[in-house]
Amino acid sequence: MRELRVDAALAGQRLDQALAALTPELGLRGRRRLIARRAVLVSGRAMPAAHRLRVGELVTLREATAEPAAVPRLAETPRLLARQGEYCFLYKPAGLHSTALAGGGGFSLERALPALLASLPGAGAAQLLQRLDYGTSGIVCAALTRQAALAFRRAEREGRCEKRYLALLRGILAAPVIARAAL
């Protein structure tokens, strides 16, 4: 359990902003997730993220509030698609986070890696090389070794990687269109 007594320097700050003093490893979203999960108490009570702190209040972060990694009900399940050398390719369905959310716990493709790659020898150090938005389904590449991850990052920096997105649209399109916009 981590605690912080509000002093004059913190007085008047919003709880979600002042919480950075207890959780420097988290960004604002992560701190707000902790508050929403009621893992943060102010003088023994759960308060909203916008609560303005007062001198003397005690902000407590309860460590034992991590959520279990419950598997969400998805229309499709994440799965290993292929392996090529030191890389593997995984299917991430819509409705699943690619990586664990800071301060949020929960299930993600990243958390599922050990089970998805259990059949691959030496895949214990696997790491995702890309992410897809929560509502997006698609293929995500993972490196099976640290050296493969470094080689991929180098190829990215050198412009030797290309990403393509496919959007499914409804309606009538009068002519083919190519969208070339930075994401």
All residues at 6 or more sequence positions from 169 whose CB lies less than 8 Å from its CB, including other chains = none
Q: What is the pLDDT of residue 129?
A: 94
Per-residue 3-state assignment (H helix, E strand, C coil) for 71-133:
CCCCCCCCEEEEEECCEEEEEECCCCECCCECCCECCEHHHHHHHHCCCCCCCCCCEECCCCC
All residues at 6 or more sequence positions from 183 whose CB lies less than 8 Å from its CB, including other chains = 165
Higher pLDDT, 101 or 143: 143
Beta-ladder partners of 61: 2, 40
In Å, how far are 30, 82, 108, 162, 166 from 63, measured between CA atoms? Answer: 14, 38, 21, 41, 41
For the entire predicted model, the pTM comes to 0.57
Domains (ranges, CATH) in the chain?
Answer: 2-65 (3.10.290.10), 79-157 (3.30.2350.10)
Q: What is the pLDDT of residue 72?
A: 57
CA-CA distance, 108 to 27, in Å (whole number)?
19
Q: State pLDDT tens for residues 55-98.
A: 999 999 886 444 444 555 677 889 999 999 999 999 999 888 88
Share of the chain above pLDDT 70, in %: 90
Average pLDDT, the chain: 85
Q: Is 109 exposed, middle or buried (0-12, 13-18, 19+ CB in 10 A)?
A: buried
Q: What is the pLDDT of residue 64?
A: 47
Q: State pLDDT tens for residues 35-59.
A: 887 889 999 898 999 999 999 999 9
CA-CA distance, 30 to 104, in Å (whole number)?
7
Q: What is the pLDDT of residue 12?
A: 94
